[in-house]
Amino acid sequence: MSGSILYIDSDRFEQEVLKSDKPAILYFYSEDCPPCEVLAPIYEKMAEKYGDRIKFVKIMRQANRDLAKSLGVTGSPTLLFFRNGLEVGKRLSGFLSKPQVRTAIEGVLGDVLPPPELKKENCDVIILGGGAAGLSAAIYAARAKLNTILLEEGVPGGQAASTYHIANYPGTPGVISGTELIANMRKQAESFGARVEDLREIFEVKLQGPEKYVRTEDEEYYGKAIIIATGGKPKPLPAEGAEEFTGRGVHYCATCDGPMYQNRKVVVIGGGNSAVEEAVFLTRYASHVTIIHQFDHFQATKTAQEEAFKNDKIDIIWDSEVRKVHGEEHSLTGVTIENIKTGEIREIPTEGAFVYIGTQPRTEIFKGQVQIDDNGYIVASEDTKTNVEGVFAAGDVRTKPIRQVVTAAADGAAAGIMAERYITSQVKRIPVQVR
């Protein structure tokens, strides 16, 4: 626990938050809450950085339900910001990233801290991304005795870590949780000497030239080769009100946010494997799940479809798209859908909407430096080489027909091996000086 974080209960709320002599951030958390586990180290990190300018407070939601209800807090984690006794800024909830939390804090403070003096770090291989591809690359690169540093903006895991169960990963006992699989990968990478540095926001990357460069908030990294394994992120729901209610009823991770919806009705939007599998997972919590899909058939595997069809807590609305998300100030009450064949418009009451309509690659920072296709994916072949020497792309971030955890790990292995070969070839090119 950080000494910069104050733990309170409801009877101290007024004194510690409303009457605080400086702005305060109040974090409602719960036990057995996956998104709370992800947010905890981020909150610690932010408390270390901003603790002298904003008060960091935590309160358990289950033990302080009346206060939570009075503030319109219905799920965990939820962050609220206060100044002079009033709530300010935009409240955050659900599965949160470090950039989201940092941006919100800096918005309340009105400015940012002076930039720290940057430390410099030299290595052989820089890996960007801590999912299955990045960790697999770290295993192979570190085992080849390369000085390997992996940088992850959040907590290592990527999309795999938010998958409740993975039933088709070779060598596992039938079913394994994404969290456990990623933990095993990280432990293995570190056992070979790889440094895995999480909660590292990437602000600048330079890919051209023999020396690759990455800048985070407090360090500059220089490497002989770089492996891009930044993965993908969910495509946002293209409906009115969706952005406004993100984290307050609209979610992109059932494993992270599903526990908030115990005995409540939710909808799942999409028809691929993720949508159908997570709909089944959500029936562990929700009283009823409605799948809304734009076609008259699923794209999911037959096994996933069979599980959904036989689950009496699931029903399906075909040929329809969500046009609007609406609700009260802090909670979702329903979605408006349109049947794309008949044009019929109707409202579906719901307290939560989980969106699975595809992913988009995290490649914004690399544009103009490496070849990227029209869909935003880095162009790289099976050997993971890009059009820039010493730059490799692995996993969901690169052009490829199949995106699974096992194919991401395979990409990572290839990238680690190719990086080692590239570095070795560069060393051989250096002429030996005869004295």
- The catalytic residue positions are 253, 256-257
Please, is 121 exposed, middle or buried when counting C-beta atoms within 10 Å of its C-beta (0-12, 13-18, 19+)?
middle
| Whether the Cβ atoms of residue 140 and residue 413 lie closer than 8 Å to each other | yes
Q: Which two tokens stand for residue 174?
A: 């039938």
The answer to whether 292 and 339 are in contact (CB under 8 A) is: no
CB atoms within 10 A of CB 246: 19
Q: How far apart are CA 368 and CA 287, in angstroms?
A: 48
107 token code pair: 């918005």
Q: Which amino acid is at 336?
A: T
Residue 311, number of CB atoms within 10 A of its CB: 13
Of the candidates 243, 236, 234, the one whose C-alpha atom is nearest the C-alpha of residue 326 is 243
Bridge partners (DSSP) of residue 166 are: 176
Kindly tell me the number of DSSP H helices and DSSP E strands found in the chain. 11, 22
CA distance 64 to 61: 5
- The span from the CA of 349 to the CA of 329, in Å, is 16
Report the distance separating Cα 278 and Cα 256, nearest Å.
11
d(CA 52, CA 22): 9
122: phi then psi, degrees, rounded to nearest 5? -110, 140
Q: Phi and psi at residue 425, in whole multiples of 5°?
A: -65, -35
3-state helix, strand, coil split of the chain in percent (to 5) is: 30, 30, 40
Q: Take residue 5 and report the two structure tokens written for it.
A: 């974080």
